[in-house]
Chains A and B, each alone.
Chain A
Amino acid sequence: MQLDNESRGMFWRSVLSAVRAALRAMLIPLLAVFTAMLTGGVVIALAGGNPIAAYVGLFQGAFGSARALSETAVWSTPYIFAGLAVSLTFRGGLFNIGAEGQLAFGAVAAAWVGYALPEVLGLSLPPIVHLPLAIGAGIVVGAIWAAIPGALKAYTGGHEVINTIMMNYISLNLVSYLLNGPMKDPDPLNVIARTPLIDENARIPPIVEPLRIHWGFPLAFLIACLVWWLLWRTTLGFEIRTVGTNIEAARYAGIRVKRILVLTMALSGALAGLAGAIEVTGLNYRHELGFSIGYGFDAIAIALLGKTHPLGVVLAALLFGAMRNGATRMQFLTQIPVDIISVIQGLILLFVAADRIVRYLYRIRVAEERVVLTRGWGG
Chain B
Amino acid sequence: MTDEIVLQAKGITKRFPGVLANDRVDFDLCKGEIHALLGENGAGKTTLMNILYGLYRPDAGEIWVNGRQVTLHSPRDSIRLGIGMVHQHFMLVPVFTVTENIMLGAETLHREMGGMPVTGWQRWWQTIQLDVLDRQGVAKKIAELSHQYGLDVDPDAMVGDLPVGIQQRVEIVKALYRQANILILDEPTAVLTPQEAEELFRIMNQLRERGVSIIFITHKLKEVMAVADRITVMRAGRVVGTVTPQATDEAQLASMMVGRNVILTVEKKPTQAGEEVLRVEGLRIRDARGLEAVRGVSFSIRAGEILGIAGVQGNGQTELVEALTGLRLPHAGRILIAGRELEDLSPRAILEAGTAHIPEDRQRHGLVLPYAVADNLVLCTYYQPPFGVRSVLQPKAIDSYAGRLIQDFDIRTPSAYVAASKLSGGNQQKVVVARELSRPIRLLIANQPTRGLDVGSIEYIHREIVAMRDQGIAVLLVSAELDEIMALADRIAVMYRGQIVAEVDAQSARREQIGLWMAGVHD
Chain A residues with a Cβ under 8 A of chain B: 232-238, 242, 245-246, 248-256, 356, 359-360, 365-366, 368-379
In the complex, are the beta carbons of B190 and A371 less than 8 A apart?
no
In the complex, are the beta carbons of B117 and A356 less than 8 A apart?
yes
Pick the interface stretch among B196-204, B250-258, B307-315, B422-430.
Answer: B422-430
Least CB distance from B294 to A in Å reads 19
In the assembly, what is the distance between CA of A245 and CA of B376, in Å? 12
Least CB distance from A172 to B in Å reads 36
Most buried by B among A234, A237, A375: A375
In the assembly, what is the distance between CA of A360 and CA of B452, in Å? 37
Which of A249, A253, A256, A377 meets B88, CB within 8 Å? Answer: A377
Residue in B closest to A376 when the chains form the complex, CB atoms: B88
Those of B464-496 within 8 Å (CB) of chain A: none
Other contacts beyond A379-B46, A379-B426: 8, CB < 8 A = A234-B392, A242-B379, A246-B367, A248-B364, A255-B348, A376-B87, A376-B88, A378-B186
Least CB distance from A379 to B in Å reads 2
In the complex, are the beta carbons of B113 and A371 less than 8 A apart?
yes
In the complex, are the beta carbons of B391 and A253 less than 8 A apart?
no
Residue in B closest to A256 when the chains form the complex, CB atoms: B348
In the complex, are the beta carbons of A249 and B365 less than 8 A apart?
yes
Residue in A closest to B108 when the chains form the complex, CB atoms: A373
Which of A235, A250, A370, A376 meets B393, CB within 8 Å? Answer: A235
In the complex, are the beta carbons of A360 and B116 less than 8 A apart?
yes
Does B64 interact with chain A (Cβ within 8 Å)?
no
In the complex, are the beta carbons of A377 and B393 less than 8 A apart?
no
In the assembly, what is the distance between CA of A233 and CA of B363, in Å? 25
Residue in A closest to B452 when the chains form the complex, CB atoms: A377
B60-99 near A? 1/0 per residue, CB < 8 Å: 0000000000000000000000000001111100000000
In the assembly, what is the distance between CA of A203 and CA of B31, in Å? 82
Given that A248-B365, A253-B379 are contacting pairs, would A238 and B87 also be in contact in the complex, using a CB cutoff of 8 Å? no
> Chain B residues near A233 (CB, 8 Å)?
392-393, 395
Pick the interface stretch among B134-142, B232-240, B261-269, B380-388.
Answer: B380-388
Given that A248-B365, A365-B115 are contacting pairs, would A234 and B391 also be in contact in the complex, using a CB cutoff of 8 Å? yes
Does B112 interact with chain A (Cβ within 8 Å)?
yes
Least CB distance from A297 to B in Å reads 28
Interface of chain A: mostly helix, strand, loop or mixed: helix
In the assembly, what is the distance between CA of A253 and CA of B387, in Å? 15
In the complex, are the beta carbons of A372 and B421 less than 8 A apart?
yes
Least CB distance from A362 to B in Å reads 12
Least CB distance from B251 to A in Å reads 25
In the complex, are the beta carbons of A235 and B88 less than 8 A apart?
no
Given that A249-B367, A365-B115 are contacting pairs, would A238 and B393 also be in contact in the complex, using a CB cutoff of 8 Å? yes
Those of B396-430 within 8 Å (CB) of chain A: 419, 421-428
> Chain B residues near A372 (CB, 8 Å)?
50, 55, 421
Given that A256-B348, A369-B419, A369-B421 are contacting pairs, would A375 and B363 also be in contact in the complex, using a CB cutoff of 8 Å? yes
Residue in B closest to A232 when the chains form the complex, CB atoms: B393
Which of A253, A366, A368, A377 meets B187, CB within 8 Å? Answer: A377
In the complex, are the beta carbons of B382 and A235 less than 8 A apart?
yes
Does B300 interact with chain A (Cβ within 8 Å)?
no
In the complex, are the beta carbons of A371 and B55 less than 8 A apart?
yes
> Chain B residues near A356 (CB, 8 Å)?
115-117
In the complex, are the beta carbons of B115 and A238 less than 8 A apart?
no
Residue in B closest to A371 when the chains form the complex, CB atoms: B114
Subset of 17 A-B contacts with CB under 8 Å = A235-B393, A249-B366, A252-B347, A252-B359, A256-B346, A359-B116, A360-B115, A369-B422, A371-B55, A371-B113, A375-B88, A375-B90, A376-B190, A377-B190, A378-B46, A378-B88, A378-B425
In the complex, are the beta carbons of A249 and B91 less than 8 A apart?
no
Residue in B closest to A360 when the chains form the complex, CB atoms: B116
> Chain A residues near B359 (CB, 8 Å)?
252
In the assembly, what is the distance between CA of A297 and CA of B290, in Å? 41
In the assembly, what is the distance between CA of A53 and CA of B359, in Å? 62
Given that A234-B393, A365-B115, A379-B426 are contacting pairs, would A251 and B347 also be in contact in the complex, using a CB cutoff of 8 Å? yes
In the complex, are the beta carbons of A235 and B452 less than 8 A apart?
no
Q: Which 10 A-B pairs have the closest CB atoms?
A: A379-B425, A376-B88, A254-B348, A378-B186, A378-B187, A377-B190, A366-B115, A252-B365, A235-B388, A254-B347
Which of B46, B87, B326, B392 meets A235, CB within 8 Å? Answer: B392
Least CB distance from B54 to A in Å reads 10
In the assembly, what is the distance between CA of A375 and CA of B87, in Å? 8
In the assembly, what is the distance between CA of A356 and CA of B110, in Å? 12
> Chain A residues near B348 (CB, 8 Å)?
254-256
Most buried by A among B350, B364, B383, B423: B383
In the complex, are the beta carbons of B116 and A242 less than 8 A apart?
no
In the complex, are the beta carbons of B116 and A245 less than 8 A apart?
no
In the assembly, what is the distance between CA of A378 and CA of B171, in Å? 15
In the complex, are the beta carbons of B425 and A377 less than 8 A apart?
yes
> Chain B residues near A236 (CB, 8 Å)?
391
Which of B114, B368, B451 meets A370, CB within 8 Å? Answer: B114
> Chain A residues near B149 (CB, 8 Å)?
none
Given that A238-B382, A256-B346, A356-B117 are contacting pairs, would A377 and B191 also be in contact in the complex, using a CB cutoff of 8 Å? yes
B158-174 near A? 1/0 per residue, CB < 8 Å: 00000000000000000
Does B441 interact with chain A (Cβ within 8 Å)?
no
Most buried by A among B113, B392, B424: B392
Least CB distance from B105 to A in Å reads 14
> Chain A residues near B424 (CB, 8 Å)?
379
> Chain B residues near A365 (CB, 8 Å)?
115
> Chain A residues near B393 (CB, 8 Å)?
232-235, 237-238
> Chain A residues near B327 (CB, 8 Å)?
251-252
In the complex, are the beta carbons of B364 and A249 less than 8 A apart?
yes
B304-333 near A? 1/0 per residue, CB < 8 Å: 000000000000000000000111000000
In the assembly, what is the distance between CA of A375 and CA of B424, in Å? 10
Most buried by A among B115, B419, B452: B115
In the complex, are the beta carbons of A359 and B346 less than 8 A apart?
no
> Chain A residues near B391 (CB, 8 Å)?
234-236
Residue in A closest to B370 when the chains form the complex, CB atoms: A245
Least CB distance from A27 to B in Å reads 15
Least CB distance from B93 to A in Å reads 14
> Chain A residues near B90 (CB, 8 Å)?
373, 375-376
In the assembly, what is the distance between CA of A189 and CA of B395, in Å? 60
In the assembly, what is the distance between CA of A369 and CA of B370, in Å? 10
In the assembly, what is the distance between CA of A171 and CA of B365, in Å? 39
In the assembly, what is the distance between CA of A365 and CA of B370, in Å? 20
> Chain B residues near A246 (CB, 8 Å)?
364, 367-369
Does B35 interact with chain A (Cβ within 8 Å)?
no
> Chain A residues near B89 (CB, 8 Å)?
376
> Chain A residues near B56 (CB, 8 Å)?
368, 371
> Chain A residues near B27 (CB, 8 Å)?
none
> Chain A residues near B106 (CB, 8 Å)?
none
Least CB distance from B425 to A in Å reads 2
